[in-house]
Structure 1
Amino acid sequence: MKPFGYVAAKDSEHAVALLAEYGKGAKVLAGGTDLLADLKFSPHPPPDVVVDISRAADLKGIALTDAGLRLGAMVTHSEIVHSPLIAEAAPALAEAAVVIGAVQTRNLGTIGGNLITCVPSMDSGPTLLALDARVTVLGPRGRREMPLSELFVGPRRTSLAFDEILIEIVVPKQNLHKPAAFQKFGLRKGQALALVNAAASFWAPDGVFTEPRIALGAVAPTVIRAPKAEAYLTGRPVSEEAMAEAGRIAATEAKPITDFRASAEYRRDLVAVLVKRALAGAFGRVTPNQKDLAS
C-alpha cells in the first residue's frame, strides 16, 4: 500500500469542508470495507488524503422522524439487522443486511458506504428502492434531497460531486409497515456477491395489488426498478399466477451480462424466480384480514 494523508472529520459539515479543501485527491473513509481493499489492490494511484467520517455522530443512528424511518449514512449493517425499529417498520431491510458479507463486514460496513460504492450487485439498494427511499446529501452549496434512484449513475458512479457526502437515507412515512421482502441468489450461501437480487413491496387492500414496487440488482449497470412488471400487477387480485407473470415480465426488463459467474440467460431465469419469491414474501407480511380477502 502506498502512503497517503489522513484526517478525521468531527461531523458532516467538517467532512464537507475537508473535501472542499483537498479537492478531488481526497477519498471518504466510512466503514472501510471497500476503500481499504481498493487502497491495497487497485492499480490506480492512491488518494492524496483519506477523510475519515466514522466519528461523525450526526451521520449515525436509526430513528423515526416526521419524514419517516431515518438511517444515518454511518449506520452499520449489523445495526440494521438488530434494530427493533427496523424489525417493526421495515423488516425487509434487515433481510438484505444480514446477507452482506461476513459478520466482520456487517459490523464495520455502513449502509451509506454500500450505496455510494454503487456496485450493481449491492444488497442494500433493491429493498430501499422498493420502499421509495430518499437520500440527503451535503456539500458546500448546502443540502439536497432526491429519490435513491437518482443517486445511481453507473457501476461505481454516483451523482454526488467530489465535495459532497451522503448523510442520510429515509424510508418515507407512508411506506412504513408496507409489506416487502428481499431475495438473493449467489454461488454459495454466505459471503457471496449476488448473481441476482430482488426486492418487492405492495399494499393489498381488498386483496388487490396496490402501489407495487419491484427492484432488481446485479442485472443492469445499476440497481433498477421493473416498471412494466409493476404496471402489470397494479389493480390485479393477488395470486400466485400474477406473481409468476410479474417475474417473467421483470426478466424481460433486466439487462444482465454474461461473465465468469453466470450467463445472461441464467440471470434472467433467476430474475423470474426471485421476483415471484419476493412478491410471495411480501404477501406473507400482509395483515391477516387482507390475506383473507385475497384468498
Structure 2
Amino acid sequence: MSTTTKGCEVLPATSVDEAVRALADLGDRGAALAAGTWVMRSSLRGEDLRPRYVSLNGIAELRATESGEEVSLGALTTHTDLASRELPAALAGLVGAAGQSAFPQVRNVATLGGNIGATGFAEADLVPALLALDARLETASLRGRATVPLGEYLPERAQRPADEIVVRALVAAPATRRSAFARLTVRGGGEYAIANVCVCVDLDPDGVVSAARVAIGSVEPVARLSHAAVDALVGNRPSAAAGEEAGRLAAADCTPRDGLDAPGWYRREVLPSLVRRACAELAV
C-alpha cells in the first residue's frame, strides 16, 4: 500500500528486485527513498520533489553487514550503527566519520547509501572515508548486479540509470591497514563540514607507509582522492609533520568551491591542519 506525503506518493518495496522494477517503471518520475534526510531539504535547494518515491526501508538485504577481510556494509546502514560497530582497525576512519557527522538525531536515520547517492551534497562525511578505503559499490538494476569503484561512481551519479540502486559498499580490511578522519565546521558539532579528510595507509613490518590514499571532501563539489598528497606519506612513518606536508600538497592541487559557510580560499587554507590531525592519529 502506498502512502502520500507532501503531495508525493511513496511506494513500498520489500526486495531489491521489487524496488528495481518499480524504479524502472517510474523512470524520471520517481526515485529511491531511504531516510529522506536529503530529499526533505529539496525545497531549500530550489529543487522539485519527484511525483513518486520507492521506499527502500522494508528491504532487509540493504541492512546486512558482514565483517572479515572484506567488510560488506548494507546501503541502509545508519551513521549511528556504523559508529557503534566493532569493525576492523582499517575502517577506523569510516567509523570516525559516521560518529562525527551532523546531529545524533540525523545520525540515527541517515544512511550510508543516502550519503553516497546524494547528488550535490559536497559535505557528505562518509564519502571521503569510503574513498580513502578504496570502497567498491554493489549496485542492482534490471540488468542485474554489478560492482563499481566508488571513485568512478561519484562523478556520474546524476547520469546513473533510473532503475539502479546501491545495495552495499565493499571495503577491504587487511590487518596492515589503518585510517583516520578529520573535519572542520563553522561552530562545532552538528554542522556540515567546511572541509573533511580521510587518510588511509598500509604499513610495512617496520611501521613505514608502503601505500596511502588521501581523500578530500567538501572542498570541491565532489569528493576525490588527492594523488599529490601521497608523495609526502609513502616511505615515511605516519606523523603530524608528514601529514602537514601531505595537506599542503593536497591544498595546492585543488580547486575549492565558494559557499555560504566558507569561501574557497578558506577551505584550501585549512586542509594542511586537517590532514595533519588525521596523520597524527595514525601515529599513535
> What TM-score results when the alignment is normalised by the length of structure 2?
0.91
Alpha-carbon deviations, 1:9-61, whole Å to 9, x = none? 011111001001111101211011111222x5454443121100001001112
Partner Cα distance (2:88, 2:212) in 1? 21
> What displacement does 1:188 show?
1.5
* Paired amino acid for 1:150: E
SS of match in other structure, 1:81: helix
Q: Structure 2: where are the runs of 5+ without partners? A: none
SS of match in other structure, 1:108: coil
> What displacement does 1:177 show?
6.1
SS of match in other structure, 1:105: helix
Q: Compare 232-241 and 248-257 and name the one that shifted more.
A: 232-241
Cα 1:11–1:280, aligned 2, differ >3 Å: closer, same or farther?
same
Contact 1:5–1:49 under 8 Å retained in 2: yes
Contact 1:73–1:112 under 8 Å retained in 2: yes
SS of match in other structure, 1:170: strand
Identity of aligned residues (%): 31
1:56 is aligned to 59
Q: How many residues align?
A: 278
Partner Cα distance (2:185, 2:177) in 1? 27
1:164 is aligned to 164
Partner Cα distance (2:185, 2:47) in 1? 29
SS of match in other structure, 2:231: helix
> What TM-score results when the alignment is normalised by the length of structure 1?
0.88
Matched, 1:23 2:11: no
1:113 is aligned to 114
* Paired amino acid for 2:154: F
Partner Cα distance (1:277, 1:184) in 2? 9
2:79 is aligned to 77
Alpha-carbon deviations, 1:179-215, whole Å to 9, x = none? 1100000002121011100010112322322111110
> What displacement does 1:140 show?
0.4
| 1:13-162 mapped onto 2 (5 Å cutoff) | 13-38=17-42, 41=44, 43-64=46-67, 68-84=70-86, 86=87, 88=89, 90-118=91-119, 119-153=121-155, 157-162=157-162
Partner Cα distance (2:233, 2:158) in 1? 30
* Paired amino acid for 2:102: G
Cα 1:53–1:231, aligned 2, differ >3 Å: closer, same or farther?
same
| 1:138-287 mapped onto 2 (5 Å cutoff) | 138-153=140-155, 157-174=157-174, 178-205=177-204, 206-284=206-284
* Paired amino acid for 1:26: G
Cα 1:64–1:190, aligned 2, differ >3 Å: closer, same or farther?
same
Contact 1:216–1:223 under 8 Å retained in 2: yes
Contact 1:87–1:94 under 8 Å retained in 2: no
Alpha-carbon deviations, 1:234-271, whole Å to 9, x = none? 22354443322111101112211233322222211211
SS of match in other structure, 1:136: strand
Cα 1:237–1:33, aligned 2, differ >3 Å: closer, same or farther?
closer
1:292 is aligned to none
Contact 1:71–1:168 under 8 Å retained in 2: yes
> What displacement does 1:159 show?
5.0
Partner Cα distance (1:203, 1:80) in 2? 22
Partner Cα distance (1:256, 1:225) in 2? 14
* Paired amino acid for 1:190: G
Q: Structure 1: where are the runs of 5+ without partners? A: 285-295
